[in-house]
């Protein structure tokens, strides 16, 4: 038996800081608190538009994860600038994600079906893996996207759970999403590719996925920071980590 990994995305601590251009709340303190309370890794996304995490934040967070001997999962677009940043920082993981300046948040998975996009992702993956950085791709759970990810030889994919999470919150039927996730898991397990999940998840929508033994890693951010307004980031993280303990994977 093993426990699914909980990655905590602390981008929105930086969002709050950047809203007023202050030096608080501290991104370092946030990273330390969530790791002290059961998180298995820290996730941060350095966007090209720098809307939340800033360049100076990245080495500070990396220092904290190194102190706790936990991985840093560095989300980024396939921009040459970001590839250079990743090679400089040397995080345990890079998760390649799509970016559009006009979007409020990441709106979907990488488009690996476009030959042009596939070539860009392939180049990024090659450069990162040549430096022994493990790579995951943020993609949809459809078969073609999974096959393209497999062609790239990445260590993991992170399935976009945003549509599932939205239907869950609205009380809609989400069975089609679970079916899609099962099929994705079956395919990825066959090729020994890590099956990760992320985007829009709350404690309740995550619990359904945990009960169904669908993913080995979950990256959750916005809900944790939102709930922290009422209960504190430490207790919210600890309660979520305890939930993970209740639903071990069957190996």
Question: What does the block give as tokens for 17?
Answer: 């800081």
pLDDT at 106: 55
- Is 75 part of the annotated catalytic residue set? yes
- Helix (H) / strand (E) element for 133: namely none
Mean pLDDT by 10 residues, the chain (251 residues): 96 96 97 98 96 97 98 96 96 91 64 94 96 97 97 97 98 98 98 97 98 98 98 98 95 61
Within a domain: 251: no
pLDDT at 250: 77
Within a domain: 126: yes
CATH number at residue 144: 3.20.20.70
Residue among 12, 52, 177, 199 flagged as catalytic: 199
Closest CA to 134 of 166, 94, 162, 168: 94
Number of other residues whose CB lies within 10 A of the CB of residue 138: 23
Within a domain: 185: yes
Closest CA to 75 of 49, 51, 98: 98
pLDDT at 209: 98
Within a domain: 19: yes
Residue among 12, 52, 75, 227 flagged as catalytic: 75
pLDDT at 108: 78
In terms of residue numbers, what domain contains 62? 5-245
Number of helices followed by number of strands (H, E) in the chain: 11, 8
pLDDT at 241: 98
Instruction: Identify whether the C-beta of residue 135 lies closer than 8 Å to the C-beta of residue 82.
Output: no
- Is 222 part of the annotated catalytic residue set? no
- Is 199 part of the annotated catalytic residue set? yes
Question: What does the block give as tokens for 240?
Answer: 């979520």
pLDDT at 63: 98
Which position has the token pair 């945990």? Answer: 210
Question: What does the block give as tokens for 29?
Answer: 């303190």
Give the bridge partners for 197, in sequence order: 159, 218
Q: Compute the chain's Rg from CA coordinates.
A: 17
pLDDT at 1: 78
The phi-psi region of residue 153 (left if phi > 0; otherwise alpha if psi is between -120 and 50; otherwise beta) is left
Residue among 12, 45, 52, 177 flagged as catalytic: 45
Within a domain: 108: yes
27/61 Cα distance (integer angstroms): 7
Within a domain: 59: yes
pLDDT at 191: 98
Within a domain: 165: yes
pLDDT at 134: 98
Within a domain: 250: no
pLDDT at 155: 98
Tally of domains in the chain? 1
7/9 Cα distance (integer angstroms): 6
Burial 17-54 (b: 16+ CB within 10 A, else e): beeeeeeebebeebbbbbbebbbbbbbbbbbeeeebbe
């Amino acid at each position: 038996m093993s426990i699914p990994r909980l990655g905590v995305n602390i981008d929105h601590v930086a969002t709050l800081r950047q809203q007023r251009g202050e030096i608080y709340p501290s991104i370092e303190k946030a990273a330390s608190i969530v790791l002290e309370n059961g998180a298995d890794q820290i996730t941060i996304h350095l966007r090209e538009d720098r809307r939340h995490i800033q360049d100076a934040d990245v080495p500070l967070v990396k220092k904290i994860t190194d102190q706790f001997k936990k991985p840093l999962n560095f989300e980024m677009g396939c921009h040459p600038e970001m590839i250079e940043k990743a090679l400089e920082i040397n995080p345990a993981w890079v998760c390649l994600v799509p970016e559009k300046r006009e979007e409020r948040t990441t709106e979907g998975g990488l488009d690996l079906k476009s030959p042009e996009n596939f070539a860009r992702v392939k180049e990024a993956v090659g450069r990162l893996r040549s430096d022994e950085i493990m790579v995951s791709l943020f993609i949809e759970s459809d078969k073609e996207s999974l096959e393209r990810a497999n062609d790239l030889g990445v260590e993991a994919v992170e399935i976009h759970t945003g549509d599932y999470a939205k239907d869950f919150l609205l009380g809609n039927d989400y069975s089609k999403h679970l079916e899609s996730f099962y099929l994705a898991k079956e395919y990825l397990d066959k090729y020994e590719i890590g099956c990760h999940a992320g985007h829009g998840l709350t404690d309740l929508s995550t619990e359904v996925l945990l009960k169904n033994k669908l993913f080995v890693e979950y990256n959750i951010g916005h809900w944790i920071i939102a709930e922290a307004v009422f209960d504190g980031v430490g207790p919210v993280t600890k309660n979520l980590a305890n939930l993970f303990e209740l639903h071990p994977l069957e190996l």
